[in-house]
Amino acid sequence: MNAERFLLDVNILVALFDPAHSHHRIVARWFSSPSLQWGVCAFTEAGFLRIATSTPAGRRTLGQATSIVASFSNDPNFTYWPIRTSWASLVAPFAGRLYGHQQITDAYLLGLAVKEGGVLVTLDKAMKHLAGPKYSKHVLVLE
């Protein structure tokens, strides 16, 4: 049996690499699980870089943040999740549950996790609602 594969949401990356973040300990504890199969996609990379370099919580230069992203591939349990499918195709299974513009990226990430048979890890409790009962197994909300 294959181990579960986890796609990290931007908020997980931000909390993981910011010791002052209110969820840092929860995320760091979960992330330290042995043999955790994890990855990111273009959206989570770009989102992390944007937040890490632009918010007061970020406090990083673009070079520092880019180095963090580059270091992901040093972990043997890391996998890059390429996006090869359109937004409409990925979100089709739960498109009726979308209610606003702030869910565009969330829906893309959830759709990618569903398509790839993985689990989206997030701090966003609303992601469970977006997934609905049929796709809730594809979402892990760390609390």
Contacts of 1 (CB under 8 A, 6+ apart): none
Domain boundaries, the chain: 5-141
What the block records as the tokens of 98 is 């979308």
Residue with tokens 């409409």: 88
Architecture of domain 5-141: 3-Layer(aba) Sandwich (3.40)
Residue-wise pLDDT for 88-143, tens only, equals: 999 999 988 888 888 889 999 999 999 999 999 999 999 999 999 999 999 999 99
Angle at 65 between CA 21 and CA 61, to 5 degrees: 95
What the block records as the tokens of 99 is 């209610």
Q: What is the pTM of this model?
A: 0.93
Contacts of 95 (CB under 8 A, 6+ apart): 88, 107
Residue-wise pLDDT for 12-66, tens only, equals: 999 999 998 999 999 999 999 989 999 999 999 999 999 999 867 668 899 999 9
